Amino acid sequence: MPLLLFDLDNTLLPRDAAFRAWARDFLAEYRLPAGDLEWFSTIDGGGYVPRDTVLGAAKRRYGLDHSLDLLLAHYRRGVNSHIHCPDSHVKALRAARNSGWTLGIVSNGGTRPQLEKIRRTGLGSLVDGWVISEEAACLKPDPLIFEIAARRCGYSPTRDWTSHTWMIGDHAPADIAGAEATGLRSVWLHHGRPWAERGYRPTLSAPGLPEAVGLVLSARSAATPASAMAARAARATAAAGAARGAGVRVGAELRVGAGRPVAVEAVTAPLAAQLAGGRDTAAATGTGGAGGTFGTADGPGAAQPARPRTRVAVPASALAPTADRPAPVGRVRASG
């Protein structure tokens, strides 16, 4: 049975709309300028700015004589009173379930508020499992949190679960980069925004959740990130071979000097550093490209480490130990 994973805020639930409704009530209750609603929305950062920071800024801006704990309780009550799961989202989830999909939630956030949203909106009865970053002690884009979600939805880690799994989310650095790092296909909810990331891309994009689910149900045969990367690598190898045959030196492959090349497998920099590095870093580690779908070098079904791995071809002579260069550490194997 295929697995469909969802982000929670601004994917399954219109979190930003609920925040604006709370902020509007807050301004009215404390007789503050209604025009400050946009200030609240800006400092909120789509929910990615810590609540203490947002509420502390409001406390200072308006000279409120309230503790942060009191303001936080006010915020949580207000947001939860306004948040709901739209009927169109419920219908989309039921359509996926009726089509044979297992459904799960992968959310970054605090356990208590996120779990309360899941329960209050009725999502708990519509999905098969969920994972929240605080209680899991890991967060998107770490592949581990997606693996935990799969386990909780009944998928064994020994199965080739990644090739049967899609991720739908609105936050590119967490949802789409995380899906790519795990080897999952993905749909980005653009909500009218242009794609701005250079190092990775979603498999598909959609304006909203119902459209995204419809795309997944009709595109189950789409290439996985890893298989798409393998196809691109094969094309690049063929092109390099043709260039060498024409007498062109291909330095990018590092196939220079005497001796048989070997493949060295090494752990790359953390994913966060890769994402911060943009296209150049992604290209160097094998997690990005110019367009289309993206994936990790290990491929679907392989045990996915918390950090992606990369393989680089270098001549065996270059690895021979010398007085200034000791023998390399790690797995080294001959390449065909």
Q: What is the residue extent of each domain of the chain?
A: 3-11+86-218, 15-82, 225-334
- Give the whole-angstrom CA distance, residue 224 versus residue 186: 9
Q: Give residues with Cβ within 8 angstroms of 259, minimum separation 6.
A: 315, 316, 317, 318
178: helix, strand or coil = helix
The candidate with the shortest Cα–Cα distance to 181, out of 67, 287, 53, is 287
Confidence of residue 224 (pLDDT cuts 50, 70, 90): low
- Give the whole-angstrom CA distance, residue 95 versus residue 89: 10
- Checking if the pLDDT of 223 tops 60, the result is no
- Checking if the pLDDT of 33 tops 50, the result is yes
Confidence of residue 230 (pLDDT cuts 50, 70, 90): low
In the CATH scheme, what is the code of domain 3-11+86-218?
A: 3.40.50.1000
Predicted confidence at residue 244, as pLDDT, reads 56
Predicted confidence at residue 221, as pLDDT, reads 54
Pairing of strands 165-169, 129-132: unpaired
Q: For the purposes of burial, counting CB atoms within 10 Å of the CB of 201, is it exposed (0-12), middle (13-18) or buried (19 or more)? A: buried
- Give the whole-angstrom CA distance, residue 181 versus residue 175: 10
Predicted confidence at residue 268, as pLDDT, reads 27
Distance of CA 151 to the CA centre of its chain: 18
Confidence of residue 297 (pLDDT cuts 50, 70, 90): very low
- Give the whole-angstrom CA distance, residue 48 versus residue 37: 17
Helices (H), 153-224: 177-182, 209-218
Assign residue 202 a region: left if phi > 0, alpha if psi is -120 to 50, beta otherwise?
beta
pLDDT tens-digit readout, 303-336:
333 433 333 333 444 334 444 434 434 333 333 4
Half-sphere exposure for 329 (CA within 13 Å, toward CB): 1
Mean pLDDT for the chain?
76
R_g (Cα) of the chain, nearest Å = 24
Give φ, ψ of 177 to 5 degrees. -65, -40
- Give the whole-angstrom CA distance, residue 3 versus residue 252: 38
- Give the whole-angstrom CA distance, residue 177 versus residue 156: 23
- Give the whole-angstrom CA distance, residue 6 versus residue 195: 19
The candidate with the shortest Cα–Cα distance to 263, out of 328, 324, 167, is 328
The b-or-e profile of 203-224 (16+ CB within 10 A means b, else e) is bbbbebbbbbbebbbeeeebbb
Are the C-beta atoms of residues 305 and 267 closer than 8 Å to each other?
Answer: yes
Confidence of residue 237 (pLDDT cuts 50, 70, 90): low
pLDDT tens-digit readout, 193-215:
999 999 999 999 999 999 999 99
pLDDT tens-digit readout, 136-194:
999 999 999 999 999 999 998 776 899 999 999 999 999 999 999 999 999 999 999 99
- How far CA 38 is from CA of 22, 50, 124, in Å, comes to 13, 18, 32
pLDDT tens-digit readout, 69-80:
999 999 999 999
Give φ, ψ of 104 to 5 degrees. -145, 160
Confidence of residue 23 (pLDDT cuts 50, 70, 90): very high
- Checking if the pLDDT of 250 tops 90, the result is no
Predicted confidence at residue 255, as pLDDT, reads 29
237: helix, strand or coil = helix
Confidence of residue 228 (pLDDT cuts 50, 70, 90): low
Q: Give residues with Cβ within 8 angstroms of 102, minimum separation 6.
A: 1, 2, 3, 4, 128, 153, 154, 155
Distance of CA 129 to the CA centre of its chain: 18
Q: For the purposes of burial, counting CB atoms within 10 Å of the CB of 160, is it exposed (0-12), middle (13-18) or buried (19 or more)? A: middle
Could you give the percent of the chain with pLDDT greater than 70? 65
Name the residue with higher pLDDT: 248 or 65: 65
